Each structure stands twice: as structure tokens, then as C-alpha cells.
Chain A
Amino acid sequence: DAGVTQSPTHLIKTRGQQVTLRCSPKSGHDTVSWYQQALGQGPQFIFQYYEEEERQRGNFPDRFSGHQFPNYSSELNVNALLLGDSALYLCASTGGALYNEQFFGPGTRLTVL
């Protein structure tokens, strides 16, 4: 049973560019959340998708947007990249019997130069 998978593993972009990160949830899960983890910090909640709709959102600007597909996979898009967007982006999924537990993927390391 595959866990949460994310792609790509690493990414390097320059300021002003746009980036798309991808996430496939654990089998049987229908809810996907995205988190940003800056160096030396804990993960910060960006938003959560359920039934292809944004259900919750943290304190992030509109440059951060997302999408959930009918197969429950999800994308995180960041426009007009800033140096401060450099971080590890984590995807977490939940659903099914263990609905109170979020399973995290290994993350995508984004570097903005």
C-alpha cells in the first residue's frame, strides 16, 4: 500500500517564476492538506482540499492556490515566487477509518534564487 507520494523531490526556481507541486494521497484517503516548512520551523498549514473544493485555508496569500482532482490527487501552485518561498512543502492526506490522523509525504524541497 503506497503512502503519500509527492513530486518532484527537489526544485530550483528564480524569483517571479511560477511552480506547481504534485501530491498523490494514501490509498483510501479523500482529503489533502498542504504545509510549508521553512528551515528551523514547524510545518505551517496552507490549505486543505476535500471533494475538489478548498475547505480550509491558513494565513497564506492568494499567490498560493491549489486544486484537487477526481482521483483525490492534488496540486499546489505558487505564483510570483519570492526568495521567502524557499521551503519544504509537505502534503498530508486523511480519510477512511483513521480520519483523525494525517499521513505526510516526504515533501518537495523548493529553492528560489
Chain B
Amino acid sequence: DQQVKQNSPSLSVQEGRISILNCDYTNSMFDYFLWYKKYPAEGPTFLISISSIKDKNEDGRFTVFLNKSAKHLSLHIVPSQPGDSAVYFCAASKGGGADGLTFGKGTHLIIQP
């Protein structure tokens, strides 16, 4: 049973436009959510996180929104750049970002020139 779901395996966005990546979760015990970015042959790299006591966190071009009632979070990238092309993983934990993380299957974001 997948507790963290990323229903879009891939997403294509034009350079300069907004990229929106979505993630749903089923476990109400999750209280911390993270987004990781992964290039081929590299480990995942932390992007941004949000605690369940917040509904928005912003860091430069990246914003994460959390809707607890819908058990849904999204990552917005504005503006999208060619270097953003990568696989993005949504992850969740029950005790902060240092605990064992539950990951989604990932969304492959492709930025078109």
C-alpha cells in the first residue's frame, strides 16, 4: 500500500513557465514533508520541506503548499529553468526530516526550451 503517491510519472513544461508537481499521502501520522530532486547517477538532493503546522514554505524559486485536509502537497517552481529537468520525489515522515522517509515514485520533470 503506497502511502505517498505521485500520480504523474512525467511532466513537460516550457522554460520560463511555472512547473507544478503534485503529491498525495494517506497516512495521517505524517507531520513533515520534503521534496528531493534527483539527476541520473547522483543521489537525491534536498530541495525544500514543510512542517504540518504550516501551509506554505518558500525558498527562492521553489514553493511548497500543504493542504492537510486533502492530504495533498504541491511543489511550484517559478520560473522553470533547463537545469530543473530531473526526477522529483515527494517524501514524508512521522518525526521530522531526520527520520526514515517514505517516498513517492517520483515525477520526471522535463523543461522544454
A94 at the interface (CB under 8 A from B): yes
Task: State the interface size on chain B (CB cutoff 8 A).
Answer: 25
26 pairs across A/B with beta carbons < 8 Å?
Answer: A4-B43, A31-B98, A33-B100, A33-B101, A35-B101, A40-B105, A41-B105, A42-B6, A43-B89, A43-B103, A44-B103, A47-B100, A90-B43, A94-B97, A94-B98, A99-B96, A99-B98, A100-B97, A100-B98, A101-B46, A101-B49, A101-B98, A102-B46, A104-B36, A104-B43, A105-B43
Collect the chain A residues with CB atoms within 8 Å of residue B106's CB.
42
A48 at the interface (CB under 8 A from B): yes
A75 to B35 CA separation, bound complex (whole angstroms): 26
Secondary structure class of chain B's binding surface, majority of residues:
loop
Task: State the interface size on chain A (CB cutoff 8 A).
Answer: 28
CB of A42 within 8 A of CB of B89, answer yes
Chain A nearest Cβ from B9, distance in angstroms: 9
CB of B96 within 8 A of CB of A100, answer yes
Residues of B within 8 A of A (CB): 4, 6, 32, 34, 36, 41-46, 49, 89, 91, 96-106
Q: In residues 27-83 of chain A, which contact B (Cβ within 8 Å)?
A: 31, 33, 35, 40-45, 47-48, 56-58
Chain B nearest Cβ from A25, distance in angstroms: 12
Once A41-B105, A42-B89 are accepted as A-B contacts, the answer to whether A103 and B98 lie under 8 Å apart by CB is no
A87 to B92 CA separation, bound complex (whole angstroms): 21
